[in-house]
Amino acid sequence: MPNFMKMMKQAASMQKEMERIQGELAQKTVEFSSGGGMVKAIARGDGSLAGLRIDPRVVNPSEVDMLEDLVTAAVDGALRAAKEMAAQELGKVTAGLGIPGLG
């Protein structure tokens, strides 16, 4: 039984640490740009979009399709970067547990 209690304490400690890291991730941002920096997307570590910047020079009514593609690429890249950042941070907590997909 003592090993079981120790394991339960470790699990509770790990859960608190993961909650702390998730809170910090919500405050961290990553940025991704497309079109040579004409469109920039900023994402938070919790996977939400924090902002979008579009250079006025890329706004051309006759090329809306191109702008849509640039926005999509920037947002997709930023969200992927945020996901990677979150996985790295959470992986620090779960490393060494030997659980597939957790570290």
Beta bridge partners of 44: 29
The residue extents of the domains of the chain are: 2-94
What's the average model confidence in pLDDT over 76-84? Answer: 96
Predicted confidence at residue 103, as pLDDT, reads 47
Predicted confidence at residue 42, as pLDDT, reads 97
User: Above pLDDT 90, what percent of the chain?
Assistant: 57
Q: Which residues contact 24 (CB under 8 A, 6 or more apart)?
A: 45, 89
As a whole number of angstroms, the distance between CA 50 and CA 3 comes to: 44
Beta bridge partners of 21: none
Q: Which of 30, 22, 21, 24 is nearest to 49 (CA)?
A: 30
As a whole number of angstroms, the distance between CA 53 and CA 35 comes to: 12
Q: Which residue has the higher pLDDT, 30 or 4?
A: 30
Q: Within 10 A of 32 (CB to CB), how many other CB atoms are there? A: 19
* CATH code for the part of the protein at 2-94: 3.30.1310.10
What's the average model confidence in pLDDT over 27-44? Answer: 96
